[in-house]
Structure 1
Amino acid sequence: MTQITKHFFGEHQGQEVSLYTLTNKNGLRLCVTDYGCIITQLWVPDRNGELADIVLGFDELASYQAGHPFFGAIAGRCANRIGGGRFSLKGQEYQLACNEAPTGQHLHGGVRGFDKYVWRSEVDGDGILFSRVSADGEEGYPGELWVTHRIALTDDNRLVFDYSAHSDRTTVVNLTNHSYYNLSGQRQDICQHQLQINADFITPTDPATSLPTGEVLSVAGSAFDFRQATCLGEAMARRPDRDFDINYVLRRDSESLRFAAEVTEPNSGRVMRVLTNQPGVQLYNGFKLSNKHWEGKGGEIYRAFAGFCLEAQAFPDSIHQPHFCDVVLQPGETYQHRTEHHFSVIDGQE
């Protein structure tokens, strides 16, 4: 059974912030805080049993409070981008903050999204159950939204994310976790990682706005083709700026949890397999990390390609693309999202 301890992590706007440490029977260790449901550490063994922390982040709460590129945090009320921060529901127009400075779009819930609140928290079996009520009008979104987010670490080496929400008014909901992974244990950049994504199509974006064009294009013959395990660095070399920030349309199958992606780091032997009930996964390779100075854990400087994100979610800007996904939540309905990360190792020589 997973062992869980709770520690004082600091204060935020007069509220006490806690850090939970979860350790399973195999020694995997997860640290998560009730400030933004942020995963601060994730210690996973390599093929020799040596543990290393495979997520980017900070040692102190103050660094998260000072602002960061969503290291380990929940993104919501609506993850990813909403074009112009505008949408219409039931004949009423809503204007949200356009908080992504380079593009002028609404990003990951706005100026103070779900990542910048202290959530109620309690131990729940092999996980932590976080909850909060997002007020009607918070960041411009309609409806009072009751949200729960459970993060668990199981004895069979699964990191499990469960999200649930319901609202008293018609609103927009799309939640995800925004961890940056580096399966080498942050000993090198991510270019040697082998990536497979279970998708034949992407939703391409306009470079000027970072918004989907509305098209659904095949990955065949492009740098975006990860249908077979592909060296991430080799794929990046096919992009003019070595950049990846793109939504993949996951293949549909009969399983409630579909295989989304698998990542292998050949030197350590660590493998992360992602399953989800969501229709898409956003691949981001951290190419913008060098735009600012990020001093991470132990004084490590996080530069471009220090980590990658695989964000299981609905497609970006779906509220403006009816053929994408339904991100509208009606009163009486329940939003349910489950994503699992399975950790293992492969045999081989260092």
Structure 2
Amino acid sequence: MTSASIGRAPFGKLHDGAVVERVILRGEYGFEAAILPFGATLQALLAPDREGHCDDIVLGHDELDGYLAQRKFFGATIGRYANRIAGARFVLDGETVQLDANNGPNALHGGLQGFDRKLWRIVELSDDPGPTLVLERESLHGEEGYPGNLAARVTYRVRSPMELSVTYEATTDRPTCLNLTNHSFFNLESARSGMQILDHRLTIVSDHFLAVDATAIPLPGPPRPVDGTPFDFRKPTAIGARIRMHDEQLQLGRGYDHNFCLAKGTDLRLAACLEAPHSGRVMELLTDQPGLQFYSGNFLDGSTAGKGDRLYRQSDALCLEPHAWPDTPNRPDFPSARLDPGQLYRRSIVYRFSTA
């Protein structure tokens, strides 16, 4: 068993010469998380398999240049608004907020230069109550069109025995909408294994999901029940078991790329469980967010070379992104994503690992 510790070293330079470090939070049994202040990005996550062998289980790049060359969101912090906002606009207190459209007619993942393209500041490194990294940045009023001067903070913490928590906090000086998450691509067999995720068994603790239109915006009306559909993951189910069924929603998303509606509440609760049959790795995801976006890696098309110069292709990894429901600022019937002055935005994700 290895003891908990923290390491840091230069990882590369931005175009303006700013140095980007790589901070490693080490836990026990070889479990560790590597974070880049660029994009507040989870660059690597090592977890042991059932034989005790540790592998990196998230997609990404071995060098900073890979992250700069293409915007693929590997492991990044997404903001100000994760997922999509229809028409790249919304109305807040009677005023239209115009955003940058960067996904067809819609705004996606914060716009053209979201939080994933910014260099965050390291403000704290500590080992109590576990190896911890705190990153901060200020998003000025009008950045990508969003109102309010926003002070944002991300805390990564490794906890015993094999657990990574990610906590987002923010305050604003005027009403705004906010929706932060992590966009890691997981393959529990190993990011370099060459194996797809279609035989990973997934459980999602949700009875309803949001059906979408051709631009991935939720359709009018209430969430749809998962019962009797390919979206029923209430029991452990292989991701590939129904992904090629003739279903309009699967066809629109080229697979799964949908928000699952989680139980109401503000406490951390189990949202999903992912199991890899060969390595035996199990990841439980807990969150206090109202939704979970399940994306089955449908648009990984071989155009990006990642770790070990491996070309990333469809079904090489999946995303489980806890966040507010997509297009919430335009949907008063959805749980609110509004943040007002005097309020503290605080949302958390916990990735808990074990083996079976």
TM-score by length of 1: 0.95
**Is residue 261 of structure 1 aligned with residue 272 of structure 2?**
yes
Q: State the match for 1:247 in structure 2.
A: 259
CA drift at 1:182: 0.2
Q: In the alignment, is the contact (CA less than 8 A) between 2:28 and 2:162 conserved in 1? A: no
**Is residue 157 of structure 1 aligned with residue 162 of structure 2?**
yes
**Structure 2 counterpart of 1:280, from 280, 291, 298:** 291
**Structure 2 counterpart of 1:209, from 212, 215, 231:** 215
CA drift at 1:36: 0.3
What secondary structure does 2:298 align onto?
coil
**Is residue 62 of structure 1 aligned with residue 69 of structure 2?**
no
Q: State the match for 2:142 in structure 1.
A: 137
CA drift at 1:25: 2.2
The residue type paired with residue 236 of structure 1 is: I
**Is residue 321 of structure 1 aligned with residue 322 of structure 2?**
no
> Partners of 1:104 and 1:235 in 2: how far apart?
30
What secondary structure does 1:142 align onto?
coil
The residue type paired with residue 52 of structure 2 is: G
> Partners of 2:97 and 2:17 in 1: how far apart?
31
> Partners of 1:57 and 1:277 in 2: how far apart?
26
> Partners of 1:191 and 1:142 in 2: how far apart?
41
Shifted more, 26-35 versus 167-176: the winner is 26-35
Shifted more, 263-272 versus 5-14: the winner is 5-14
Q: In the alignment, is the contact (CA less than 8 A) between 1:204 and 1:216 conserved in 2? A: yes
Q: Which digits, 9 at most, give the CA deviation of each residue in 1:141-186, with x for residues without a partner?
A: 1110000000111122111010000000111100000000000113
The 5 A counterparts of 1:103-114 are 103-114=104-115
**Structure 2 counterpart of 1:174, from 179, 184, 194:** 179
What secondary structure does 1:112 align onto?
coil
Q: State the match for 1:237 in structure 2.
A: 244
Q: Which runs of 4+ in 1 moved over 3 A?
A: 239-242
CA drift at 1:57: 0.4
> Partners of 2:4 and 2:237 in 1: how far apart?
34
Q: In the alignment, is the contact (CA less than 8 A) between 1:26 and 1:155 conserved in 2? A: no
**Is residue 15 of structure 1 aligned with residue 22 of structure 2?**
no
> Partners of 1:344 and 1:287 in 2: how far apart?
27
CA RMSD after TM alignment: 1.3
CA drift at 1:16: 1.5
> Partners of 1:318 and 1:136 in 2: how far apart?
20
**Structure 2 counterpart of 1:293, from 284, 287, 303:** 303
CA drift at 1:21: 1.1
Shifted more, 63-72 versus 175-184: the winner is 63-72
The residue type paired with residue 261 of structure 2 is: V
> Partners of 1:249 and 1:3 in 2: how far apart?
37
TM-score by length of 2: 0.93
> Partners of 2:263 and 2:230 in 1: how far apart?
19
Number of equivalent positions? 341
Q: State the match for 2:101 in structure 1.
A: 98
The residue type paired with residue 259 of structure 2 is: N
Unaligned 5+ residue runs, structure 2? none
CA drift at 1:313: 0.4
> Partners of 1:178 and 1:202 in 2: how far apart?
19
Shifted more, 237-246 versus 196-205: the winner is 237-246
CA drift at 1:251: 2.5
